[in-house]
DNA sequence: GCATTTAATAACTATCCAGTTACTTACTTG
DNA sequence: CAAGTAAGTAACTGGATAGTTATTAAATGC
C-alpha cells in the first residue's frame, strides 16, 4: 500500500515554457521527417514529448504552424552550418572538393533535412513558400560557388561558362539522391548502401565526379 | 415532376471487371503520387474512380495491396520504356549522352515515378521489398552502362576504373533531384524551374556534366 | 498580497477513414 | 434454364485524429 503522496494526486507541472516548446519542436522534427506531414500525428508528438496535446496548440496554434516552425528551424540550422564552413580562398579545386565533401557529410550525418524537403516538395512547397523567415535567409553558398568557378576559370583549371546554380544543383544532387533514395537504391544495387564501405565509395565518387565535371 | 425512370432507380452497373480494376489503379496511382501513402484515402480514390469503395477491396484486398499494385505497374512501365531505348553500340559518347537525355526526358514527362519512389523511401522501402515481381525485374540498364564505360575506356575516350553503379546513380541523380525538388529549388533559384527555358538549360547541363564527368 | 497572466491538465467533439456486413443484380455454365 | 459465381451497392463500425472546452495552479506584477 502506498502512502498518500500529494505530489501524485495532481502530478508535476514543470512550468518551463522554453523547455516545453523546445521539446515539442524536437519531437515534431523527428516525427515529420519520419512520417511526413500527413503521417505524423499531434497525439503522437504530444505523447513522445511528454506534453499535454493542448500545449501544441498553446505554443504553435495548429499542426501546420508547428510544421512550419520545424521547417524554419531546419533551414536555419542548415544555413548556419554552411556559414561556419571555411573554404580555401586561393585554391578553387580544393575549395570545390571541400564543399562537395561537406555536402555529402552533412547528409550522411542526418537525413532529417532531406526528409523534410521531400515532404515539402510533395506538397508543392506550399508551406515553405509562405515563410517570410525562410525567404529572407538567402543562401550564401550560391555566391561562394560562383566565386570558386570564376577563379578556377581565370586560372584555366575549370572550363569557362559554367553556371553557378547548375553546378551547385549538380553537386548537391550527387549526394542528396544517394541518401534520399538509399532504400530503393539498395535493392537495385543488391547491397546495403548505408554500410561504411559503400558510403566511403560514394563519397570518393562524388568528389571525383564534381571535379571531373568542371575541369578544363 | 419527373417521369419514373427505371434506369435511375437502381442506376447503371457497368459490370466490366477489367475496366473497373484499371480505373481504380489509374486513380490510385495519381493519388498515391500526389498525396503519398498516408495522404491518399480509399474514399477519395473510390469517388474519383466512380466506383463503390467496396470494389477496391474486391479487386485489391487492402489499401496497402492497392499501393503495391501501383508500385509494380510503375516499375514495369519504367522498365519497359528502358528496354525500348536503342543505344548506339559503336559510339560510347553518343550512347551515354542519349541515356542521360532519355533519363531527363522520362522524368520531365511524368513525375509519378519520382513521387512514388520518394514515398517508398520515406517508408524505408518496406512495401517494395516484399514484391517478388519487382525484385524479379532486374534492370538491364546497369549492364548497359557497364558496357558503355568499358567500351569508352578501351577507346581512350573515358577514364579507366569507373564503376557502372556509381556512374548510373550520378547520371540519374542529376535529373531526378531537379524534378523531385523542383518546388523548393525554384524558391532558392528565384525562378520557375518548370518553364521551358529552365528545363532546356538543365537538360543541356546534365548531358554536359555527365560526359565531362567520365571523359579521359 | 491580491489580480492577472501564463503554463498545464483532462475530458470531450466532430470528422475522417480503413475496412466490413448484408444485400442485389448481372453474367456464366452445367 | 436453374444454380452458382462475379460485379456491384448502401449503410455501417470502430478507432484514430485535429482541434476545443473548461478548469486548475504556478508565476508575475502592481
pLDDT in tens, chain B (216 residues): 333 333 333 444 577 878 999 999 999 999 999 999 999 999 999 999 999 999 999 999 999 999 999 999 999 999 999 999 999 999 999 999 999 999 999 999 999 999 999 999 999 999 999 998 998 887 899 999 999 999 999 999 999 999 999 999 999 999 999 999 999 999 988 889 999 999 999 999 999 999 999 999
Instruction: Count CB-CB contacts under 10 A for residue B115.
Output: 23
The stretch A182-211 carries a mean pLDDT of 96
- Looking at residue B144, the DSSP 8-state letter turns out to be H
Q: Are B209 and A205 within 8 A, CB to CB?
A: no
Distance CA B76, CA B175 (A): 20
Residues B130 and B184 in one domain: yes
pLDDT of amino acid B208: 98
- The pLDDT of residue A40 is above 90: yes
Chain B residue whose CA is closest to A211: B213
- The pLDDT of residue A99 is above 80: yes
Is the separation of the CB atoms in A163 and B200 below 8 Å? no
Distance CA B151, CA B144 (A): 11
Distance CA B71, CA B120 (A): 9
Is the separation of the CB atoms in A96 and A152 below 8 Å? yes
Provide the percentage of residues in chain A whose pLDDT is more than 90.
85
Residues A112 and A44 in one domain: no
Structural domain boundaries, residue B32: 12-61
- The pLDDT of residue A207 is above 80: yes
Q: Are B170 and A205 within 8 A, CB to CB?
A: yes
pLDDT of amino acid B13: 59
Residues B117 and B198 in one domain: yes
Q: Which residues of chain A are within 8 Å of residue B213 when distances are taken between CB atoms?
A: 209, 212-213
**Residue positions counted in chain B:** 216
pLDDT of amino acid A8: 35
Residues B158 and B210 in one domain: yes
- Nine cell digits for residue B4: 419514373
Least confident span in A49-53, A121-125, B5-9, B51-55? B5-9
| Strand D proximity list, CB < 7 Å | A 10, 13, 15, 40-44, 53-54, 57, 62-64; B 11-17, 20, 51-55, 58
Residue B2 lies in a domain: no
Residue B4 lies in a domain: no
CA of B15 to C1' of D2 (A): 22
CA of A41 to C1' of D12 (A): 26
* Helix residue spans in chain A (DSSP H): 6-9, 17-39, 42-48, 53-60, 63-84, 92-109, 112-122, 126-130, 132-136, 141-154, 164-180, 182-189, 196-214
Structural domain tally of chain A?
A: 2
- Looking at residue A90, the DSSP 8-state letter turns out to be T
Residues B176 and B126 in one domain: yes
pLDDT of amino acid A122: 96
Residue A66 lies in a domain: no
CB of B146 under 7 A from strand C? no
pLDDT of amino acid A2: 34
pLDDT of amino acid A13: 62
Distance CA A124, CA B33 (A): 12
pLDDT band at A10 (very low <50, low <70, confident <90, very high): very low
**Residue positions counted in chain A:** 216
Q: Are B119 and A122 within 8 A, CB to CB?
A: yes
For residue B161, which phi and psi values (nearest 5 degrees)?
85, 5
Identify nearest nucleotide to residue B51 by CA to C1′ distance: D8
For residue B10, which phi and psi values (nearest 5 degrees)?
-115, 95
pLDDT of amino acid A146: 97
Q: Are B121 and A182 within 8 A, CB to CB?
A: yes
pLDDT of amino acid A137: 85
pLDDT of amino acid B104: 98
- Looking at residue B158, the DSSP 8-state letter turns out to be B
Q: Are B202 and A166 within 8 A, CB to CB?
A: yes
CATH classification of the domain holding A116:
1.10.357
Distance CA B48, CA A74 (A): 36
For residue B148, which phi and psi values (nearest 5 degrees)?
-60, -45
- The pLDDT of residue A175 is above 90: yes
Picking from B145, B211, B213 by the largest number of A CB atoms within 10 A of its own CB, the best residue to mutate is B213
Instruction: Count CB-CB contacts under 10 A for residue B216.
Output: 10
The stretch A157-176 carries a mean pLDDT of 98
Residues B56 and B142 in one domain: no
Amino acid at each position: 500500500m502506498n502512502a498518500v503522496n500529494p505530489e501524485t494526486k495532481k502530478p508535476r507541472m514543470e512550468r518551463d515554457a522554453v523547455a516545453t516548446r523546445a521539446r515539442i519542436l524536437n519531437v515534431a522534427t523527428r516525427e515529420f521527417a519520419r512520417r511526413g506531414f500527413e503521417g505524423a500525428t499531434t497525439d503522437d508528438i504530444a505523447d513522445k514529448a511528454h506534453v499535454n496535446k493542448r500545449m501544441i496548440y498553446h505554443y504553435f496554434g495548429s499542426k501546420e504552424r508547428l510544421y512550419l516552425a520545424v521547417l524554419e528551424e531546419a533551414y536555419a540550422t542548415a544555413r548556419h552550418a554552411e556559414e561556419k564552413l571555411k573554404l580555401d580562398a586561393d585554391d578553387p579545386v580544393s575549395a570545390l572538393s571541400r564543399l562537395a565533401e561537406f555536402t555529402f557529410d552533412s547528409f550522411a550525418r542526418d537525413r532529417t533535412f532531406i526528409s523534410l524537403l521531400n515532404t515539402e516538395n510533395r506538397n508543392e512547397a506550399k508551406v515553405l513558400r509562405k515563410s517570410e523567415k525562410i525567404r529572407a535567409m538567402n543562401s550564401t553558398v550560391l555566391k561562394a560557388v560562383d566565386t570558386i568557378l570564376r577563379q578556377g576559370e581565370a586560372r584555366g583549371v575549370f572550363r569557362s561558362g559554367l553556371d553557378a546554380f547548375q553546378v551547385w544543383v549538380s553537386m548537391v544532387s550527387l549526394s542528396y539522391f544517394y541518401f534520399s533514395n538509399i532504400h530503393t537504391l539498395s535493392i537495385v544495387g543488391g547491397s546495403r548502401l548505408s554500410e561504411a564501405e559503400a558510403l566511403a565509395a560514394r563519397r570518393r565518387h562524388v568528389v571525383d565526379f564534381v571535379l571531373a565535371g568542371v575541369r578544363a
